[in-house]
Structure 1
């Protein structure tokens, strides 16, 4: 027995072939449901023969319970963001959820995409890019849909938040360069601010000012490798004022390294020291071996999914902000 060509098998088809009721088919595909081992085997054999797959979206709409989780992200081409997305999807699947990934590149995208998730009856939302407007967060609260913001602005109500320790990151960057012998400091900062990157740069700058050390600021258009190459040209023009550079991201740092080495013939760390941030995989490549500060994507993701599940279990509990410490990773671009 096979369904007509071009027509997907239904639970009714499975029930007929297996000689069971449709409710038995539903129980067979529901974790923890009461069903005998023999009946489950018959259902699964029939489903395999027919090529039947459960329509989880339809099931969630009927039951008002969902395993779908919206994940809103941007800049998926960034190595750290790509790693974060990959770990988030894997962690959600491991816990029995089905992630829906939406890419948001502008503030309007954030509004539209988070609104669209209401149509999928999602169990929760994990947002790593931008911050949805208060009206959408309020609607999530009304519908008991948990919202977890990752590395986003701290002054948001109605959502749980998970963030790496931005202040610690900037302070640690200063301490690492200072202990490596840097006397003339530099910070590379994107012109278009983002909460986490510019937040750690601001903490670094504040510490430099507090310690009353020389500081040069280099502004760039983005957070890309190409932006780092451009920053290298600006740094090379002011070498008498700079002997240590804190890059807002590792990707910027890799561009800075290549620009200084191959365009300007500088030795790292002999002539100038470079420190990145994120600890993307490429920083450990032998061609870079970049000293950096690790924000642990795995810990961020685990805390975010934990927060979502806790909110599902206790929707009326106080909203929490979870801060994840960062860690130094010293390699060959600083003098330790």
Structure 2
């Protein structure tokens, strides 16, 4: 049996003829150390195969530079896109991402026990709920929590969301301007703040315009459930002439069902609008009209909050960012009003 032999900072210091503290400074960005000494230490470390133990350092300075990210639904391309952007932004900031899959259905929280085994500088929850238990345990462990694309009533958590109410109202106005009268809403996960905000604003705008109340089905933010829900809508006696789907995953499912199972001309016989504007929405196969969430700006705000909370753990904020409607071929063109 071959046991691994780890090279230590003490070994590097002895070989380079310096103190162990000099080795530590050589691997600490911004630390004061002569350039030639740093180069000699780094060259010695490379030759010996030494790598600093970042976890051991975290025990000394109280920071691990690790950000935990709880993710509920990796089948949603919006979160895949967000993870990529967040990983890049954290890397540029000298931080590392450690992902925790949520347990059970979409929207459930990741394992508390697993999260708190790590010395995290912050925990970001991507469309994952924050229970009172998780909030309390993170408080005790002094791990600041940031909800992404979700809100919470907990005063000890920050959040970064898009303006869901404005987005939903904008979509409602677009569909009414396209002279739709039998409009359906394909809802996401029941009780999630994202769905609640989009649904309530959509229905409120329709009521304000004296439009018929939208038909409602639930697609749970998922492809399979949305496929079944769209079949129910399109086999109804008075089927809708437009469907607002609470995210793009469901909208893409709806397009597939309408086009390939019912032979409908999407964009003419049936308008379908999504939410998030994921990269797939622009593909010619879908040409999906969607309300675009500013993913990069939301990630930038999340990273800013991480830095702020590392410096002042109680400095929680609620950030809301505006998006915009991107009109493509899946919704009926709006006729200009006669002069």
Corresponding residue number in structure 1 for 2:50: 52
Indicate which of 86, 90, 93 corresponds to 1:95: 93
Q: CA RMSD in A?
A: 2.4
Higher helix share: 1
TM-aligned CA deviation for residue 139 of structure 1: 5.0
Change beyond 3 A, Cα 1:270–1:108: closer
Corresponding residue number in structure 2 for 1:333: 330
Change beyond 3 A, Cα 1:285–1:107: closer
Q: Distance in 1 between matches of 2:167 and 2:250?
A: 16
Q: How many residues align?
A: 332
Whether the 8 Å contact between 2:70 and 2:110 is mirrored in structure 1 is: no
Q: Distance in 1 between matches of 2:110 and 2:128?
A: 12
| 3-state SS in 1 of match to 2:275 | coil
Indicate which of 156, 159, 168 corresponds to 2:157: 159
Indicate which of 174, 182, 185 corresponds to 2:183: 185
TM-aligned CA deviation for residue 217 of structure 1: 2.6
Aligned positions of 1:1-336 closer than 5 A = 6-106=4-104, 113-141=111-139, 144-190=142-188, 192-238=190-236, 240-317=238-315, 319-334=316-331, 335-336=333-334
Q: Distance in 2 between matches of 1:280 and 1:246?
A: 16
Whether the 8 Å contact between 1:138 and 1:158 is mirrored in structure 2 is: no
Whether the 8 Å contact between 2:160 and 2:301 is mirrored in structure 1 is: yes
* Higher alpha-carbon deviation: 285-294 or 170-179: 170-179
Change beyond 3 A, Cα 1:262–1:140: closer
Whether the 8 Å contact between 1:115 and 1:136 is mirrored in structure 2 is: no
TM-aligned CA deviation for residue 322 of structure 1: 0.7
**Structure 1 residues not aligned, in runs of 5+:** none
Scaled by the length of structure 2, the TM-score of the pair is 0.89
TM-aligned CA deviation for residue 110 of structure 1: 6.2
Change beyond 3 A, Cα 1:135–1:267: closer
1:245-282 CA distance string (max 9 Å, x none): 10111111111111111111110111111101111111
Q: Distance in 2 between matches of 1:71 and 1:53?
A: 25
Change beyond 3 A, Cα 1:221–1:279: closer
Q: Distance in 1 between matches of 2:328 and 2:218?
A: 25
Scaled by the length of structure 1, the TM-score of the pair is 0.90
Change beyond 3 A, Cα 1:111–1:182: closer
TM-aligned CA deviation for residue 330 of structure 1: 0.7
Change beyond 3 A, Cα 1:191–1:142: closer
Q: Distance in 1 between matches of 2:312 and 2:23?
A: 32
Change beyond 3 A, Cα 1:265–1:107: closer
TM-aligned CA deviation for residue 32 of structure 1: 0.7
Q: Distance in 1 between matches of 2:173 and 2:324?
A: 12
Change beyond 3 A, Cα 1:18–1:86: same
Change beyond 3 A, Cα 1:52–1:151: same
